[in-house]
């Protein structure tokens, strides 16, 4: 490794300029239990304190040698600000991510207050981003993410109402998705204005395990194109689950990079998209970092690189209860095994 800072490495990476080694970062949560325990707090607390949110991200990055920090950690901040609540499971035994307890029951219930950005924990996330920007001293890149319009819709409206509505009340659903698109742009632009170094749009509920490629083209593609045309670079599109059938459509959305999970056939995706597209992925974070032994984890990371990703990203949030030695193996393997250029990014 040269004296390029992690932040500079990621900046060059997204510009597809030569770098020394592959950066280790993600567009999803990367907080670990080792960092949380070092801070002497519990998992549930990192969602309700800007200081804890920022420090847990920073502590994890320092502990394992990541190139970036990324927040927030849960998908309920916007729904909560729109009055849908958030179950934080503060008294649960193990780790449980917050969920949305009261989604809208019908499309007629949808009401988006213009001041939602000031409600719930939205200001807390803003503060956490500010803390990270000031405390990382320009060393780490600061990333953030927002759910994509379709996935945000499913977080706010009962999913069966949304999915059946796609067929039964198409115009009303389209109107709702259009509102979601504006909302996603507002939140993502706001985080960009706060200075995040890269933005990931997680349209995770739109894989073809759920909707058909035809419906994706009709209801997801246009809205994502609007989102990405409204955002500054670097900007990433992440979809988990089955993406083989829509990978080419994903590439039409206007993102600088595409992130996929372990269900994607990256070799085939690379063949379809060519070597100019940044592909990020695609290991199963739970299986690889929690369940496997070190040698298994190393093999998975090497396979991601061999298959042709430009950076090895977990397919979802890192599950906090990772094995320390597996995360260390992840970072070590990426650094050692990625000395030669990846398909879209050269080496110094």
**Could you list the residues that contact other proteins (CB under 8 A)?**
87, 89, 92, 94-97, 99-101, 159-160, 163-164, 166-168, 208-212, 215, 241, 245, 284, 286-287, 319
Kind and range of the H or E run holding 163: helix 159-168
Q: Least Å distance between CB 61 and other proteins? A: 22
Residues 88 and 47: their CA atoms lie apart, in Å, by 8
Q: Least Å distance between CB 180 and other proteins? A: 17
- Strand pairing of 278-283 and 257-260? parallel
Cβ pair 15, 146 in contact under 8 A: no
Q: Which is nearer to other proteins, 245 or 267 (CB)?
A: 245
Cβ pair 334, 312 in contact under 8 A: yes
Q: Least Å distance between CB 103 and other proteins? A: 8
Kind and range of the H or E run holding 144: strand 141-147
Residues 325 and 285: their CA atoms lie apart, in Å, by 14
Cβ pair 273, 279 in contact under 8 A: yes
Q: Which is nearer to other proteins, 260 or 305 (CB)?
A: 260
Residue from 279, 329, 277 nearest 305 by CA: 279
Residue from 94, 107, 149, 98 nearest 125 by CA: 98
Q: Which is nearer to other proteins, 33 or 196 (CB)?
A: 33
Q: Least Å distance between CB 175 and other proteins? A: 17
Q: Least Å distance between CB 346 and other proteins? A: 36
Kind and range of the H or E run holding 198: strand 198-202
Cβ pair 247, 27 in contact under 8 A: no
Q: Is 153 exposed, middle or buried (0-12, 13-18, 19+ CB in 10 A)?
A: buried
Q: Which is nearer to other proteins, 199 or 204 (CB)?
A: 204
Q: Least Å distance between CB 319 and other proteins? A: 6
Radius of gyration of the chain (CA): 19
Q: Least Å distance between CB 138 and other proteins? A: 34
Q: Which is nearer to other proteins, 6 or 165 (CB)?
A: 165
DSSP 65-82: T-SEEEE---TTHHHHHT
Q: Least Å distance between CB 99 and other proteins? A: 5
Q: Which is nearer to other proteins, 65 or 287 (CB)?
A: 287
List the beta bridge partners of residue 279: 258
Q: Which is nearer to other proteins, 99 or 178 (CB)?
A: 99
Q: Which is nearer to other proteins, 101 or 346 (CB)?
A: 101
């Amino acid at each position: 490794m040269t004296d390029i800072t992690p932040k500079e490495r990621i900046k060059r990476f997204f510009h597809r300029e030569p770098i020394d080694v592959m950066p280790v970062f993600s567009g999803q949560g990367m907080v670990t239990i080792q960092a949380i325990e070092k801070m002497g707090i519990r998992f549930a607390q990192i969602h309700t304190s800007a200081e804890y949110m920022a420090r847990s991200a920073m502590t994890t990055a320092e502990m394992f040698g990541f190139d970036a920090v990324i927040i927030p950690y849960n998908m309920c901040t916007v729904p909560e600000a729109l009055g849908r609540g958030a179950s934080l499971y503060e008294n649960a035994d193990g780790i449980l991510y917050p969920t949305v307890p009261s989604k809208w029951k019908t499309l007629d219930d949808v009401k988006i207050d213009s001041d939602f950005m000031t409600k719930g924990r939205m200001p807390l996330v803003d503060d956490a981003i500010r803390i990270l920007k000031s405390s990382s001293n320009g060393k780490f890149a600061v990333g953030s993410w927002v759910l994509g319009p379709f996935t945000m819709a499913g977080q706010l409206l009962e999913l069966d109402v949304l999915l059946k509505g796609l067929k039964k009340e198409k115009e009303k659903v389209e109107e709702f998705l259009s509102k979601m698109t504006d909302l996603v742009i507002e939140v993502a632009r706001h985080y960009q204005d706060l200075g995040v170094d890269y933005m990931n749009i997680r349209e995770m509920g739109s894989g073809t395990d759920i909707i058909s490629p035809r419906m994706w083209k009709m209801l997801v593609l246009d809205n994502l194109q609007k989102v990405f045309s409204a955002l500054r670079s670097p900007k990433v599109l992440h979809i988990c689950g089955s993406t083989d059938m829509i990978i080419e459509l994903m590439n039409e959305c206007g993102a600088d990079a595409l992130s996929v999970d372990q269900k994607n056939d990256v070799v085939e995706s690379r063949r379809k998209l060519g070597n100019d597209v940044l592909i990020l992925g695609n290991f199963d974070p739970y299986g690889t970092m929690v369940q496997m032994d070190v040698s298994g984890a190393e093999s998975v990371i090497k396979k991601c690189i061999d298959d042709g990703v430009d950076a090895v990203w977990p397919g979802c949030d890192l599950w906090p209860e990772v094995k320390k030695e597996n995360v260390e193996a992840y970072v070590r393997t990426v650094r050692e095994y990625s000395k030669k250029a990846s398909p879209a990014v050269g080496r110094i």
